């Protein structure tokens, strides 16, 4: 099977057009303010294009990070621990690539290590690197699972994401209170229903505590 580098690399996509200047970006935001029906020269909006450009640098800082490379630098080797590790409730904020609206949610990760593990703060950085790009929840879910699989080479990986999409809750059909749940199950979590059930029961019960 041919390997498409776009599918198998978790580095940021390479833009087909050069990056615009800061001025061009601010001008584009000014245009959007006019499109919304407001006056970009009025007092309250005068600094908005510059503020939005700075906010974009923060919200989309994930394009400058290669999560796979980061994880390779920070995993730890452990001997003889092969029980399930579950890291739950990793908070994230992202933006949907269809509307630029916020996606706010939590990621739960489970894996069966062979001998490599990663701590929750490091994993949170990996999640953040993917979240701080324009995203589709299913894609982000697969990216996190595939990165863990590729770097830690565990016997299996499970990633579940629960998130609220503001493009669903604040516009269009206004589906308030609806969260979207996606999951990727690889290896043992896909093959073995008992392993999958164990993981799902751990993440479904916030009162349970898990070592790792």
Q: Which of residues 24-83 bind Zn ion (CB under 5 A)?
A: none
Name the helix (H) or strand (E) containing 54: helix 48-59
Q: How far is the CB of 94 from Zn ion (least distance, A)?
A: 11
Clarify whether 138 is annotated catalytic: no
Q: Which is nearer to Zn ion, 27 or 167 (CB)?
A: 167
- The region of 15-23, 98-106, 125-133, 200-208 touching Zn ion under the rule CB under 5 A is 98-106
Query: Tokens 């896909």 belong to which residue?
Result: 190
Clarify whether 149 is annotated catalytic: no
- Does the footprint of Zn ion cover residue 98 (CB under 5 A)? yes
Clarify whether 96 is annotated catalytic: yes
Q: Which is nearer to Zn ion, 120 or 134 (CB)?
A: 134
Q: How far is the CB of 129 from Zn ion (least distance, A)?
A: 21
> Distance (Å, rounded) from C-alpha 155 to C-alpha 185?
11
Clarify whether 98 is annotated catalytic: yes
Among 84, 96, 123, 131, binds Zn ion (CB under 5 A): 96
Per-residue tokens: 210: 């898990």
Q: How far is the CB of 130 from Zn ion (least distance, A)?
A: 17
Clarify whether 97 is annotated catalytic: yes
Clarify whether 137 is annotated catalytic: yes
Among 135, 97, 108, CA closest to 206: 108
The Cβ of residue 27 has, within 10 Å, a number of other Cβ atoms equal to 14
Point out the catalytic residue in the list 167, 174, 188, 198. Answer: 167
> Distance (Å, rounded) from C-alpha 20 to C-alpha 91?
31
> Distance (Å, rounded) from C-alpha 151 to C-alpha 86?
17
Among 164, 50, 30, CA closest to 96: 164
- Does the footprint of Zn ion cover residue 99 (CB under 5 A)? yes
Q: Which is nearer to Zn ion, 27 or 101 (CB)?
A: 101
Point out the catalytic residue in the list 108, 128, 143, 165. Answer: 165
Q: What is the DSSP letter of 173?
A: T
Clarify whether 165 is annotated catalytic: yes
Which CA distances in Å does 71 have to 2, 31, 80, 152, 198? 26, 40, 21, 9, 26
**Binding region for Zn ion (CB under 5 A):** 96, 98-99, 167
Give the residue numbers annotated as catalytic, written as ranges: 96-99, 137, 165, 167
């Amino acid at each position: 099977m041919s390997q498409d580098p776009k599918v198998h690399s978790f580095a940021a996509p390479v833009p087909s057009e050069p990056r615009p200047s800061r001025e061009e970006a601010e001008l584009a935001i000014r245009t959007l303010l006019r499109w919304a029906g407001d006056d970009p020269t009025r007092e309250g909006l005068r600094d908005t294009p510059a503020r939005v450009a700075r906010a974009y640098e923060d919200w989309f800082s994930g394009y400058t990070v290669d999560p796979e490379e980061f994880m390779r630098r920070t995993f730890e080797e452990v001997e003889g621990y092969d029980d399930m590790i579950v890291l739950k409730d990793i908070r994230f904020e992202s933006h949907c690539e269809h509307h630029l609206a916020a996606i706010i949610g939590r990621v739960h990760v489970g894996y069966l290590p062979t001998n490599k593990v990663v701590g929750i703060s490091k994993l949170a950085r990996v999640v953040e690197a993917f979240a701080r790009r324009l995203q589709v929840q299913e894609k982000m879910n697969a990216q996190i699972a595939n990165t863990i699989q590729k770097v830690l080479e565990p016997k299996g990986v499970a990633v579940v994401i629960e998130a609220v999409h503001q493009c669903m809750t604040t516009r269009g059909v206004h589906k308030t209170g609806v969260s979207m749940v996606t999951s990727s199950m690889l290896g043992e979590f896909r093959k073995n229903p008992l392993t999958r059930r164990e993981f799902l029961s751990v993440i479904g019960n916030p009162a349970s505590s898990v070592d790792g």
